[in-house]
Amino acid sequence: MPKKLITLLFAAAIASTAFAQAPATATSVPPATTTTVVTDSDSQETREAFHSTLRRYPTEVSRVLKLDPSLMNNQSYLATYPALAAFLAQHPEIAHSPAFFLDNVYVGDESRGENSSERVWRSTMEALSIFAVLLLVTGVLTWLIRTLIDHRRWSRISKVQADVHNKLMDRFTSNEDLLAYIQTPAGKRFLESAPIALDGAPRSVSAPVGRILWSVQVGLVLAAAGFGLQYVSRSIEKTVSQPLFAMGVLALSIGIGFVISAVVSYVLSRRLGLWETAPTTVDAAAD
């Protein structure tokens, strides 16, 4: 009996110990592990920010890093470029994948690829160039055709007027009849409608009002286009912005030239007495 009692007590003690440890084991939860997921959009933003940081320094810095990516971990080399060192310290993934983050950096004779934005702008510029050439050719052909039509019309009218004048002159039997007809209003209109001027007096020169206004309008439009092209060139890729900036400067210069020519024409017209001002209503009423 004493042995059985000792055995039962020992079994009860083991069971109580296991029961007491069971809740602690059940309630124990392993610590949660946090994982950081890096997406493609984050990598693209980091690469753009990295390129913006590199643009603060000469282009040789990015080329040296492309040739020797181990310099990204060289603190003595990065000490000269504090902004670059701070950015690389915040983004250690750049040193692990330098080919991805330096893909837009080209060294020596390395072939340069184009991204999507550069291709879009290049195709747009090509389309605009083709459209400008077609517009120029169409304008020249239209001007030539219009000039040819006007010349043929003038030649036909001149020939008809000459025939009418010759037939009318043949009907007068004497010089007295011709002079009497010329003094009449119908005769004056007859002589004024002659295809060739009767007197050798020089033609009167008037102020080129229409040309001055046209020059001002064209100059303002070209200047506005130049400012617009320069503004657009600041917000796109550098490889595409240079042609746009050059076109903007050229358009702005031509526009300013048109405006200056209009001002000079106006001043010369006033100096030479060619600019005639219309009388006011008060002066007209007084007269």
For residue 274, being part of any structural domain is answered with: yes
Task: Give how many domains the chain has, as a whole number.
Answer: 3
My answer on whether 220 and 253 are in the same domain is yes
Give the separation between CA 264 and CA 212, rounded to whole angstroms.
9
Would you say residue 201 has pLDDT above 80? Answer: no
My answer on whether 137 and 170 are in the same domain is yes
Give the separation between CA 101 and CA 66, rounded to whole angstroms.
10
For residue 32, being part of any structural domain is answered with: no
Average of per-residue pLDDT across 144-166: 85
Within 8 A by CB and 6+ apart from 113, the residues are none
My answer on whether 269 and 240 are in the same domain is yes
Give the separation between CA 53 and CA 51, rounded to whole angstroms.
5
DSSP-assigned letters across all residues of 96-139: H-HHHHTTT---TTPPPP--HHHHHHHHHHHHHHHHHHHHHHHH
Give the separation between CA 21 and CA 31, rounded to whole angstroms.
20
Query: What is residue 195's predicted lDDT score, i.e. its pLDDT?
Result: 52
My answer on whether 227 and 185 are in the same domain is no
For residue 70, being part of any structural domain is answered with: yes
My answer on whether 190 and 135 are in the same domain is yes
Q: Which of 3-7, 42-46, 239-243, 252-256 has the highest mean pLDDT?
A: 252-256
Domain that holds residue 91: 40-101
Query: What is residue 110's predicted lDDT score, i.e. its pLDDT?
Result: 53
For residue 269, being part of any structural domain is answered with: yes
Q: Which of 130, 160, 195 is the C-terminal boundary of a domain?
A: 195
For residue 2, being part of any structural domain is answered with: no
Average of per-residue pLDDT across 165-194: 71
For residue 91, being part of any structural domain is answered with: yes
Q: Which of 101, 132, 147 is the C-terminal boundary of a domain?
A: 101
Q: Which tens digits make up the pLDDT trace of 69-89?
A: 888 888 888 888 888 889 988
**Range name among 24-28, 99-103, 122-126 with the lowest pLDDT average:** 24-28
Would you say residue 247 has pLDDT above 80? Answer: yes
Query: What is residue 148's predicted lDDT score, i.e. its pLDDT?
Result: 93
Quickly state the pLDDT bin for 202 (edges 50, 70, 90).
Answer: low
Query: What is residue 256's predicted lDDT score, i.e. its pLDDT?
Result: 93
For residue 272, being part of any structural domain is answered with: yes
Quickly state the pLDDT bin for 283 (edges 50, 70, 90).
Answer: very low
My answer on whether 61 and 89 are in the same domain is yes
Q: Which of 155, 171, 195 is the C-terminal boundary of a domain?
A: 195
DSSP-assigned letters across all residues of 174-199: SHHHHHHHHTSHHHHHHHHT-SS-SS
Whose structure tokens read 């440890």?
21
For residue 135, being part of any structural domain is answered with: yes
Give the separation between CA 219 and CA 213, rounded to whole angstroms.
10
Quickly state the pLDDT bin for 57 (edges 50, 70, 90).
Answer: confident
